[in-house]
A and B are shown apart, each in its own frame.
Chain A
Amino acid sequence: MVSALYPAFRFVIPPEVAEAPTNTVHAGDLAELPPGSGKVFRFGSKPGILVRTATGEVRAFSAICTHLNCTVQFREDMQNIWCACHNGRFDLNGGNIAGPPPRPLERYRVDITDDEIWVTKES
């Protein structure tokens, strides 16, 4: 009985797909990111978010809301990172400041070379 069910049981759990871990991506160029704006970029198979503060500093975070997995966005009117799903809010350091998110967004390292924004995930 068990020996018959075991394969079926294992079958329904998908195998881990060995993904080449993405550590560094070219997330965009400075030109498309004026101070006080933000954009979502692809970080491997996951979304990330770039924000540029009013003072011109570029920061990068995981765009996956720590609440329940929605993709966050930069709200120009609030100058905050906002999650539409349950009205969660993060400041420009990724800190969770309002709504249900329990933790800050994961932060990535940003390097700028010749106008190109490179984002690195430090493990």
Chain B
Amino acid sequence: MRFVDAITRFLDERLDIRPLIEFAGEKEVPRHRFEGAYFFGGLTLFFFMIQVASGVLLLLYYRPTAEAAFESVQFIVTRVPFGWLVRSVHSWSANLMVLSAFAHMFSVVFMKSYAKPREMTWWTGCLLLAMAMGFGFSGYLLPWNELAFFATRVGTDMVSKVPLVGDWLLRFLRGGEDVTGATLTRFFGFHVAVMPLIITGLIGAHLAFVQRQGIHVPRGLEDDAERRGGMRFLPNFVLRELVVWLVGLAILCGLAAFFPWELGVKADPFASAPAGITPEWYFLFMFETLKLIPGMVLGIEGELLGLGAFALAGVLWFLIPVLDRRARRGEPSPLFTAVGWFVLAYIVVMTGLSFMGVFL
């Protein structure tokens, strides 16, 4: 303890940190019936930290070229001590991170926490989710297996449908005409350098907003929150959050150890696409929807129509804080609650049906 005091004094004399410590000691988090929903944000952050740590480990052996990528991952999972575990943790934690980000997002939607003055937190959150999905998409290709190869061909080909800049975007993403080693190198660069930089900035902003504005108490629960009083951030809330992280870690380790992530077969650009090409589960609802749209609808390419619809839906979703005027005024807005339920139900049902093989 003396040691800690000494360090604190050393820092305080130079950086004047005492006000910060006092501030942290006074910070409170509201309590109410649905306070459990707050945990998902922190849990997402926890999985992100696991991603950084396990990703750095994988970097020690991974080689981002078409010739060596598959073999290097094979080497990691078969020869490197605990390599299978590290890779499995990286894959599973990525999925759990997206899952918990979705849970976080929908809890925000239903509690209407996006409303003024927290619009910017919602917007950075939306961008964070998009980044997480971008991480998933780029990371999917890195092992250079057959499934990922074709999923990436399909996924990147979609951007070529964007009017005007489509071809340009396609070449930018693929690093050429086709998905080749150049694409792999590019995706690797995005995955380990560009996106981590951007996401770190976004996470910083997102957390700073939450810190600055305090956690939102949903409408109708103010009395409840009042009655229960706040919870001290330090140490109570932090300790509770840590318990949640431990549960997250336990689930992650269980999944990673008992269901090691598969590697599949090495990609061969001159082989036919195998049956069962699917993207990561969080793209499935879009993937299956696009499959259901016929090739041509009223003279427009079905693909274009579907993608346009999803893009529009994404923009509207992003703009919810602006569109939902009632929530902004602090009034109930059942319409947007219904929209939230509809979107959630659509995603869950489509993903579920897809896993059941209904669309094969």
Residue ranges of A at the interface with B (Cβ–Cβ < 8 Å) = 12-14, 17, 40-42, 45-47, 63, 65, 67-73, 83-87, 96, 99-102
List the one stretch of B4-12, B102-110, B211-219, B268-276 in contact with chain A. B268-276
Point out the residues of chain B lying under 8 angstroms from A63, CB to CB: 272
- Distance in Å from the Cβ of A39 to the closest Cβ of chain B? 9
- Distance in Å from the Cβ of B247 to the closest Cβ of chain A? 38
Point out the residues of chain A lying under 8 angstroms from B25, CB to CB: none
The answer to whether A69 touches B290, judged by C-beta atoms less than 8 angstroms apart, is no
Residue ranges of B at the interface with A (Cβ–Cβ < 8 Å) = 150, 153-154, 157-158, 168, 171-172, 175-178, 182, 269-277, 290-291, 293-296, 301-303, 360
- Distance in Å from the Cβ of A79 to the closest Cβ of chain B? 16
Determine the distance from Cα of A73 to Cα of B294 in the docked complex, in whole angstroms. Answer: 20
- Distance in Å from the Cβ of B27 to the closest Cβ of chain A? 41
Per DSSP, chain A at the interface is loop
Point out the residues of chain A lying under 8 angstroms from B172, CB to CB: 12-13
Given A14-B176, A69-B157, A100-B294, 8 extra CB contacts under 8 A: A12-B172, A63-B272, A68-B157, A68-B158, A70-B150, A72-B273, A84-B275, A86-B291
- Distance in Å from the Cβ of A83 to the closest Cβ of chain B? 7
The answer to whether A69 touches B154, judged by C-beta atoms less than 8 angstroms apart, is yes
Partner of B301, one of A14, A40, A65, A102: A102
Determine the distance from Cα of A86 to Cα of B294 in the docked complex, in whole angstroms. Answer: 11
The answer to whether A17 touches B176, judged by C-beta atoms less than 8 angstroms apart, is yes
Determine the distance from Cα of A67 to Cα of B293 in the docked complex, in whole angstroms. Answer: 12
Determine the distance from Cα of A14 to Cα of B189 in the docked complex, in whole angstroms. Answer: 15
Between A and B, 6 residue pairs with Cβ closer than 8 Å are A45-B178, A70-B153, A70-B154, A85-B150, A85-B273, A102-B296
Determine the distance from Cα of A70 to Cα of B156 in the docked complex, in whole angstroms. Answer: 11
Point out the residues of chain A lying under 8 angstroms from B301, CB to CB: 102
- Distance in Å from the Cβ of A110 to the closest Cβ of chain B? 19
